[in-house]
Amino acid sequence: MINPIIPCLWFDGKAKAAAAFYGTIFPNSKLLSHNPMVTRWELFGQEFMGIDGGPMFKPNPSISFFVNCESKEEAESYWDKLSPEANILMAFGKYPWSELYGFLQDQFGISWQVLVVNPTQNLNKQKIVPSMMFVGDNFGKASEAIKFYTSVFKHSSELDPAQFLLDGNGFKAIDSPGNHAFTFNEGISFVVNCHTQEQIDYYWNTFTKDGGKESRCGWCKDKFGVSWQIVPSMLGQLMNDPARRQKVMEAFMKMNKFDIQTLQNA
């Protein structure tokens, strides 16, 4: 079964405000759910998750989101609404790869690359595309990473040297030289919902080997330092049961890799 791979953005008490902000910028937006810990929303049918995890981690431009626009007017509209209080990383203007492009980190710390594209090419039909930037010790590893990720997810393919599909979800990966004050961290992670313990074991073991690292509550890092959450798809249902929520939470707070049977027995 093919599932969306959901970007998860780390906030310090501002997840719902960020979701509302993006809802004013992008059409076809929808708030899916909110609780004190997690906010979920959709942009152009793509799901996003925001975690209010405190000040421990902050998103940075190592993972950003391309916004593919069909016209200058569309790109200008998004840029004008995203740019107040933003850190402009590349000025909005004409570049060799686009008649109009800009790169910024918005007021909530999330990075966006807004550009006009040819809608018939590769991932350009996917409106918002996560992009991984390989810098520092990771510089030069984008191609290796693409081959690794497309081998992990069964329904995947490489589209060109920078674009690829993972279970039907579009991604980009680029190498960026020079000195950067950031690299991959938990500020932005990707959630993989698993239907069976076999799937959890597979993704967890694959990501944590060869230099990857285990963390708590289903979080792990792959060998490039990108963070993933390997989560049972039934966790939300258990957490929405008031009679079981506390015991389920107590159970998974003790786990690194999730164990479905333990959660069901809690």
CATH of the domain at 50: 3.10.180.10
Instruction: Please provide the DSSP assignment of the chain as one string.
Output: ----EEEEEEESS-HHHHHHHHHHHSSSEEEEEE-SSEEEEEETTEEEEEEE--SS----TTEEEEEEESSHHHHHHHHHHH-TT-EEEEEEEEETTEEEEEEEE-TTS-EEEEEE--TTSGGGGSSEEEEEEE-GGGTT-HHHHHHHHHHHSSSEEEEETTEEEETTEEEEEEE--S--S----TTEEEEEEESSHHHHHHHHHHHHSTT-EE-STTEEE-TT--EEEEEETTHHHHHT-TTTHHHHHHHHTT-SS--HHHHHH-
What's the rounded Cα separation, in Å, for the pair 188 and 177? 21
Residue 181 lies in a domain: no
Please tell me the pTM assigned to this model. 0.94
pLDDT band of residue 1 (cuts 50, 70, 90) is very low
What's the rounded Cα separation, in Å, for the pair 228 and 105? 22
Q: Which of 202, 221, 257, 236 is nearest to 63 (CA)?
A: 221
Is the domain of 26 the same as that of 102? yes
- What tens digit of pLDDT does each residue of 119-154 get? 666 566 789 999 999 999 999 999 999 999 999 998
Is the domain of 231 the same as that of 145? no
pLDDT of residue 244: 84
Q: Which of 175, 203, 234 is the last residue of a domain?
A: 175
Residue 185 lies in a domain: no
Is the domain of 157 the same as that of 205? no
Domain count, the chain: 2
Is the domain of 202 the same as that of 168? no
Q: Is the pLDDT of residue 157 over 70?
A: yes
pLDDT of residue 28: 85
Domain range for 150 is 5-175
Residue 61 lies in a domain: yes
pLDDT of residue 243: 84
pLDDT of residue 62: 98
- What tens digit of pLDDT does each residue of 38-54 get? 999 999 999 999 999 99
pLDDT of residue 6: 97
Is the domain of 131 the same as that of 228? no
AA letter at 197:
Q
- What tens digit of pLDDT does each residue of 237-258 get? 887 788 888 898 889 889 999 9
- What tens digit of pLDDT does each residue of 164-185 get? 999 999 999 999 998 999 999 9
Residue 189 lies in a domain: no
Residue 184 lies in a domain: no
- Sign, CA torsion 131/134/95/76: positive
Is the domain of 59 the same as that of 91? yes
pLDDT of residue 236: 80
